[in-house]
Structure 1
Amino acid sequence: MCGITGFVNLQNGFDRAEASQTLDRMCRVITHRGPDDQGVLVTDQVALGMRRLSIIDLAGGHQPIFNEDGTVAVIFNGEIYNYREIKRELEARGHRFRTNSDTETIVHAYEEYGFDCVDHFRGMFAFAIWDERARRLFIARDRVGKKPLYYTLTPQRSLIFGSELKALLEHPEVEREIDYAALDAYLTFGYVPDPLCIFRRVRKLPPGHRLIFANGEIKIEQYWDFDYCPIEGRSEEEWIEELRACLEDAVRVRLIADVPLGAFLSGGVDSSTVVGLMARAGVRPVKTFSIGFNEDSYNELKYARLAAKRFETDHHEFIVTPSICQIVDDLAWHFDEPFADSSAIPTYMVSKMARDYVTVVLSGDGGDELFAGYTRYAVDSRRAVFERLPRPLRRGVMQPVSRFLPHGFWGRNYLYNIALDSLDRYIDNVSVFTALAKEKLYSDDLKARLRQAGADATALFRERAAKMCADDSINRLLYLDSKTYLPGDILVKVDRMSMAVSLEARAPLLDHRLIELVGRIPPELKLKDGKLKYIFKRAVEGIVPPEILHRPKQGFGVPIDEWINAQLREQIRDTLMSSRARQRGYISLSYVQTLLEEHENGRRDHSTRLWALFMLEKWARLFVDGEGDRARASFERFAPVASSG
């Protein structure tokens, strides 16, 4: 696990000494992703750098890694779990390996298969290959989006890329002009979905895509996608047997490591399944890590303890209290872009605790998007009945009435939601600030900027939805979440918070072979008679304790609603109502005042909205006002001196 960064200018080139200094800054600012080593390659036109967290081939995995004659170089962030099989195939074809690392497999696979080398890799990855003979940079990101990749093509024709946005910002050609379409998307969904970035000229390479940079031009291609093509005629038991075997294999291949390994254990079905399969695979005892709260409604420790006892793990726990919110500036620094998922707090703390014992953890991420585990899928299924009402009634009567009703009127939001078509209804369901709320929240200036740019946060969702091949409602929603919420929120949260403490997190439930299998399972076996994750739970019967298997769904959240009204009350009010927030001109502070008063008085739970606004202001102070420069200096005190490569 590493962090990669670099830049290429094939037309104008650059001063080698200046390029080396710039690259060193770009590497050092992501030292947390790889504290063990730094490697660089600098020529007159190419600068590649990486920070390494040593996991496999501790002695021989120094990057960049080259092919036999030194004309192809790779820097790599991630893990290739089937690298040994690929290595044997390539050696049989005449390739000569110098190391036992999975990174070198990428170089030779590229030589053998070209851009299609990505089709052969099973794992999580973001890598960059410089091909000296072809004068070409090749970048690829894994199928699901576990590993991040930012890039920009500057007016000076430099392609600049990196695992984190902060690495790009160290390059003098990268500008910090806010992309208001991305800001709109953030306030709508609580995260900035790919390919958008909060800064206008920067983009994120989407999952399952590759980028080729040659002759000063960028070409982006998609090489993989979620495919929902259910197969009929197989029995439920046949699906269960194949699914269980695939789950066991997905966990087994992720146990490869030359360093200590453990697992996150929340007490839910997904993480309990992963830990149970680790124990079955012979990991004894599994080191497990759990987070709890003093607030009973959010505390899952009793279920985590039950699973830990069942699987005889070496179990560790940490209680999160409101005082932990003092780390909010650190969180904003690590996310680079505004990010509103408050479960980042326990994710950071459980990662920090785990890092004291292990270097690699397995997690249960992805199970809800893969097997239909969110309660909103059942809610959407129930509300679909209103689509039978004539559209003129819904659009011409119900929607205008809902808009006319005053803010806070009982049933206003529900009436608006059920009057929408299916896709709009789901977008409304997953929004932090709905279309109704944004009419009040946005300042006139922001509304004008968005109209001028033709920006619409829902356009990205509509674009994703247009690519769905599924003809049933459940698989359509699973596809949409797997292309938006999963890579934009869940995987960003886990990557940034684990990497903040130099911990590698692996997600076996997002193995692409498992995903392809689940895409063939009929949707009625995923959500059956209102039962979420039906086929998944059937497959893990006998592995996961029944008390966990049949418990109600509980999200991995924090009691932020209570904290905002108590320990965080003054901090959030002072931040959101400050003159600095007012001067930004994004939002109506009178509406924010209304949200604060309603939440403080207990009339409405606005915790998600207030936290989103709070994190936006925290981000702006770091990355717009320049406070991040001081934060960077603090983090860099611990960065080792760069090595040359």
Structure 2
Amino acid sequence: MCGFVCLWNLDDEELASRMIRKMEHRGPDALEVLRPRNIPVVMAHARLAIIGPDNGAQPIYQGDDILVVNGEIYNHSDLRAILGESAFQTRSDSETVLHLFRKNALRWVSRLDGMFAFVLATPDRIIAARDPLGIKPLYVAHIGEGLAFASELKAFDGVDVAKIEALEPGVMFDSQAGMRRWYRMPQGAADPEPGIDEELTWRELRLVLEEAVAKWMVADVEVGSFLSGGLDSSIIAAIAARQSPKRLKTFSVGLAGSPDLIAARRVAGYLGTEHFEHAFTPEEAADVLPHVIYHLESADIDLVRSAVPTHFAARLARRHVKAVLTGEGADELFAGYSYHHAYIDRPRELADELTRSLGTMHNINLQRVDRVTMAESLEARTPFLDRELIDFAQSIPATLKLRRTDPASPESTGPTTEKWILRKACADLLPHDLVWRKKAQFDEGSGAVTALGEALQAMTGSATPLDRAAEGAVYESLLRQSYSDPDRIINAAGKWVANRVSVAVA
């Protein structure tokens, strides 16, 4: 995992150096700034060495091409075999991008399987692309007649640009061919086809999920797992524990006595993981809040609330590993949020809403996970957002994701059960009551909302809890204090968008 800067038609090494140093946290293992003689570009890269740690330095400069990549290409071994090992000069997974490009196939970028953002330049051309879900960030701005690309918004702070834009997920920009969308989210299925075998469906889902976890654990360093004790992170940890070459390390945070700490401790004991936990306090939450908001690059209330426990989990994990698995994406794939219950009798609308929310993750949860973990030089991996798993999950009827259940049933979480088929697929991995436990939001289960409430009262001297408007004002004030041009950051930051698919009235 890394961070990079690319200046195209801008001969300014000092600017590139200044921008990349604002993102050194993304890659503390090596920092390089390179201006090739034959290409009108300056590239800078901060590296967190995960694959090919000994000889995978970037930028990768070979012949008339130069490349910077942020992320991981999980099918790089297969691509090496296809492209020919003799073409490669490093063990880095990122080098596959360069050789795929040189094959000149029409849809070469679609061969990349993983989470990534990259910029590739030749003497007369520049290409930039981003992974299907936008797990890895990429921003671009015009500076005079040139272009500036960077992995985080903070790289542009204090730089004279008119507007910063995010390259959309699944999009490629080519200075010769323009913009094109190379990936489109498959539309979710609503009703089951006649004769569908539910058991065969959830058994296949289990295999696809196991394959995704195995793929996203590929690394030359040890990979751990966040563990909140909820369904999603517990499933990932359970599968990873079976596949890990050594005893899996798991990490949990929360207020002392919080539901997440208690549940995670139980799951870790059941799985036999090497478990680490940190009980944070309201005072600690107050202390880290400016740091979290600066790195989050957003003052969105809900993002900040979930970013605080993510920060503590990332800081804890980084003491032991360089990469962790997370459960992000399961709620969007399998109808895990409480608001989804309103769609119980409207499978078409539910399927459409899940498809919509998957397409907006880059602006919300994925921004939080990337920024807050990378602030601690930790790589977060999201197996639920594997392309093959997304394709399969989207083919599963919405009626098998959110299911009306009998409250008397031991497999019921209430009048309706969210993520029903995911629970069925993984029922043997965890204790029965944990598999069918009701979902709690990360910020609620960890106690972060309570901690932040107390922290904000202490920070402001308020005698009563702050309402949402006052809470948001504190977060925005902290963000404004962190940047020389805060409006530019605020305007470009991801935001929760209230454009959910409406539920039709019968």
Same fold (TM over 0.5): yes
**Corresponding residue of 2:48:** 53
Gaps of 5+ in 1: 176-200, 385-470, 575-595, 601-605, 629-645
Specify whether residues 170 and 48 from structure 1 end up closer, same or farther in structure 2 by C-alpha distance, changes over 3 A only. farther
Deviations, residues 431-460 of structure 1 (Å, cap 9, x unaligned): xxxxxxxxxxxxxxxxxxxxxxxxxxxxxx
**Corresponding residue of 2:407:** none
Q: Distance in 2 between matches of 1:113 and 1:366?
A: 33
**Corresponding residue of 1:287:** 249
Match of 1:569 among 446, 452, 457: 457
Instruction: Please tell me the residue identity of whatever aligns with 1:142.
Output: D
**Corresponding residue of 2:186:** 227
Instruction: Please tell me the residue identity of whatever aligns with 1:148.
Output: P
Instruction: Please tell me the residue identity of whatever aligns with 2:340.
Output: Y
**Corresponding residue of 1:123:** 114
Specify whether residues 572 and 145 from structure 1 end up closer, same or farther in structure 2 by C-alpha distance, changes over 3 A only. farther
Instruction: Please tell me the residue identity of whatever aligns with 2:292.
Output: L
Q: Distance in 2 between matches of 1:543 and 1:566?
A: 37
Partner secondary structure for residue 14 of structure 2: helix
How far is the alpha carbon of 1:544 from its aligned partner? 2.3
Partner secondary structure for residue 149 of structure 2: strand
Contact 2:334 2:419 in 1 (8 A): yes
How far is the alpha carbon of 1:165 from its aligned partner? 0.9
Instruction: Please tell me the residue identity of whatever aligns with 2:326.
Output: S
**Corresponding residue of 2:170:** 208
Contact 2:343 2:350 in 1 (8 A): no
Match of 2:478 among 607, 612, 618: 618
1:463-502 matched pairs, under 5 angstroms: 472-484=348-360, 486-502=361-377
Match of 1:268 among 226, 230, 244: 230
Specify whether residues 24 and 565 from structure 1 end up closer, same or farther in structure 2 by C-alpha distance, changes over 3 A only. closer
Partner secondary structure for residue 175 of structure 2: strand
How far is the alpha carbon of 1:569 from its aligned partner? 1.3
Q: Distance in 1 between matches of 2:130 and 2:378?
A: 20
Specify whether residues 610 and 284 from structure 1 end up closer, same or farther in structure 2 by C-alpha distance, changes over 3 A only. farther
**Corresponding residue of 1:506:** 381
Specify whether residues 149 and 307 from structure 1 end up closer, same or farther in structure 2 by C-alpha distance, changes over 3 A only. same
Deviations, residues 154-194 of structure 1 (Å, cap 9, x unaligned): 3x1221110001112354x325xxxxxxxxxxxxxxxxxxx
Q: Distance in 2 between matches of 1:237 and 1:496?
A: 39
Deviations, residues 375-421 of structure 1 (Å, cap 9, x unaligned): 11003548x8xxxxxxxxxxxxxxxxxxxxxxxxxxxxxxxxxxxxx
Q: Distance in 2 between matches of 1:335 and 1:249?
A: 31
Q: Distance in 1 between matches of 2:334 and 2:43?
A: 39
Q: Distance in 1 between matches of 2:91 and 2:246?
A: 26
Q: TM-score, normalised by structure 1?
A: 0.69
How far is the alpha carbon of 1:28 from its aligned partner? 1.1
Partner secondary structure for residue 343 of structure 1: helix
**Corresponding residue of 1:515:** 390
Deviations, residues 566-610 of structure 1 (Å, cap 9, x unaligned): 442152468xxxxxxxxxxxxxxxxxxxxx97x56xxxxx34x43
Q: Structure 1 vs Structure 2: percent identity of aligned residues? A: 33
Instruction: Please tell me the residue identity of whatever aligns with 2:47.
Output: R
1:62-141 matched pairs, under 5 angstroms: 62-67=57-62, 70-91=63-84, 96-114=87-105, 116-132=107-123, 135-141=124-130
Partner secondary structure for residue 108 of structure 2: helix
Q: Distance in 2 between matches of 1:372 and 1:131?
A: 44
**Corresponding residue of 1:537:** 423
**Corresponding residue of 2:503:** none
Deviations, residues 195-249 of structure 1 (Å, cap 9, x unaligned): xxxxxx11111111111224xxx93221112212536243101111211110000
Gaps of 5+ in 2: 405-415, 489-506
Contact 1:287 1:313 in 2 (8 A): yes
How far is the alpha carbon of 1:116 from its aligned partner? 2.1
Q: Distance in 1 between matches of 2:212 and 2:486?
A: 43
Q: TM-score, normalised by structure 2?
A: 0.87
Which has a greater percent of helix?
1
Partner secondary structure for residue 107 of structure 1: helix
Contact 1:40 1:63 in 2 (8 A): no
Higher-Rg structure is 1
Instruction: Please tell me the residue identity of whatever aligns with 1:28.
Output: R
Contact 1:332 1:339 in 2 (8 A): no
Specify whether residues 30 and 625 from structure 1 end up closer, same or farther in structure 2 by C-alpha distance, changes over 3 A only. closer
1:70-469 matched pairs, under 5 angstroms: 70-91=63-84, 96-114=87-105, 116-132=107-123, 135-154=124-143, 156-169=144-157, 171=159, 173-175=160-162, 201-214=163-176, 219-228=178-187, 230=189, 232-233=193-194, 234-294=196-256, 298-324=258-284, 325-340=286-301, 341=303, 342-381=305-344
